[in-house]
Amino acid sequence: MKIKAGQLDIAQQATSPNFDSRPDNEISLIVIHCISLPAGHYGSDYVRALFCNELDCRSHLDFEDLQGVRVSSHLLIHRTGEITQFVPFTRRAWHAGESEHQGRKNCNDFSVGIELEGIDTATFTDEQYKSLLEVCQEMLDCWTLDVADIVGHSEVAPGRKTDPGVGFDWNRLRLGLVHG
């Protein structure tokens, strides 16, 4: 697994229109999220459709509040461990929203967003952890980041977001990177 020209070479590509330029071409933070549409349902095409502005918000009652929402993430790691990339790492994806990390606002400017298919009150699969560890290790090596530069959405948007949630095993991630 390698990052080349802003792309993860093993990821399926699904281009989202929801991105723009990074103001300083800086990547100094990785933000872990989780998402499923509808909540708790896995394996559908709804997340891809949301990130690509193709979601029919009339197709499910849970989608009504997503009408007109324009969001994206750099990567989505499916329950199977497969990875889809929506935005090149060289661009600013719209994943963190109103956010702040170590006194710096607008985390989208300097972060990469990784979505895990799931909900913030459940656990994630072994396949997801395996892929996440590999992706994060490549990012740490590629951009000379530290394990401390990997945070949850809840840390950069406290009170507004709770993901990746109580089911995410931070020790598993951090120990896998430190000892991996």
Domain 3-179 has CATH 3.90.230.10: no
Q: Please provide the distance, in angstroms rounded to a whole number, between the alpha carbons at the two ends of the chain.
A: 15
CA–CA separation, 86 vs 154, rounded Å?
22
- Amino acid at residue number 165: G
Tens digit of each residue's pLDDT (9 = 90 or more) over 33-57: 999 999 999 999 999 999 999 999 9
Q: Is the dihedral of CA 31, 36, 37, 43 positive or negative?
A: positive
The answer, yes or no, to whether residue 95 has pLDDT greater than 90, is: yes
Options 54, 82, 98, 115, the catalytic residue: 115
Q: What's the pLDDT at 169?
A: 98
| CB 121, CB 39: distance < 8 Å | no
The pTM of this model reads 0.97
Whether 26 is catalytic: no
CA–CA separation, 168 vs 84, rounded Å?
20
Return mean pLDDT, the chain: 96
Closest CA to 164 of 92, 95, 81: 95
The answer, yes or no, to whether residue 178 has pLDDT greater than 60, is: yes
Average pLDDT (83-94) is 98
State the alpha helices, DSSP H only, in the chain: 46-51, 126-143, 153-156, 170-179
